[in-house]
Amino acid sequence: MLQDSPMYAYLPARDVARAREFYEGTLGLRPGKEIAGGVAYEFADKTACFLYPTENAGTSKASQAFWQVDDIELEVADLKSRGVALEKYDMPGERSPSGVLTAGGAKVAWFKDTEGNILAMVEGLDTKAAQRGLLRRLPLSHLRPNVVTAAATGALALGAFALGAIAVGTLAIGRLAVGRARIGRLDIDDLRVRKVSAA
């Protein structure tokens, strides 16, 4: 079954050389195997993504992938020191001076690569915060709270749930940066997201 198999992220690029300069030169990622004009990057817990050439790069208004991080403020400071600007979206929650949004039991920040792909970083918080926030209707059995929070909040951040009022039935998330998780039912009332500005 697919649930028992690893899942990896795709990062589309109109210009692979330009994108590689961003991922390797700016972000400092180590390239892996080159395949069919693209390149793989490996991360913690045996996760990975594949940067590949396509004319469709940058057309999605949803997040392509996210990193689950331990200290998002540290990661944001590192990105800014490398010249990477955060994206800001008008969403409910509290925003730190650095631009990190806290909502739904997690802290999240977004940025774009040179190809227009939206990427996110998510730091999960405690169980009580997760239950009080956007995920209060979500059954948390069999899950580490910070994993659920990170997965769902990352997706809410322009992710796979789409923009506007959303009601999602069953969603299964494989092993993309967060390990294995199964989310039963997630109901979100009248979520509105709009872009504010880059910082």
| Helical (H) or strand (E) element with 149 | helix 145-156
Q: 158 lies in which domain range?
A: 60-198
76 lies in some domain: yes
Residue 165's CATH number = 3.30.720.110
Q: Is residue 73 part of a domain?
A: yes
Q: Give me the pLDDT at residue 155, please.
A: 52
pLDDT higher than 90, residue 106 = yes
What would the pLDDT profile of 44-78 be if each residue is shown by its tens digit? 999 999 999 999 999 999 899 999 999 999 999 99
Domain assignment present for residue 31? The answer is no
**pLDDT over 50 (residue 117):** yes
- 98 Cβ contact list (under 8 Å, min separation 6): 73, 76, 77, 80, 86, 109
The predicted model scores a pTM of 0.66
Bigger pLDDT: 23 vs 176: 23
- Written as six digits, the tokens of 147 are 């994993």
- 6 within domain boundaries: no
CA 166, CA 146: separation in Å to the nearest integer?
22
- Which pLDDT does position 142 carry in this prediction? 38
Task: Confirm whether 34 is domain-assigned.
Answer: no
Name the domain count of the chain. Answer: 1
- Amino acid 152: pLDDT: 52
Write the pLDDT tens digit of every residue in 133-160: 544 444 433 344 454 445 554 555 444 3
pLDDT at 15: 98
Beta carbons of 37 and 61 less than 8 angstroms apart = no
Predicted confidence at residue 91, as pLDDT, reads 87
CB atoms within 10 A of CB 196: 11
Residue 50 forms part of a structural domain? no
Report yes or no on 84 lying in a domain. yes
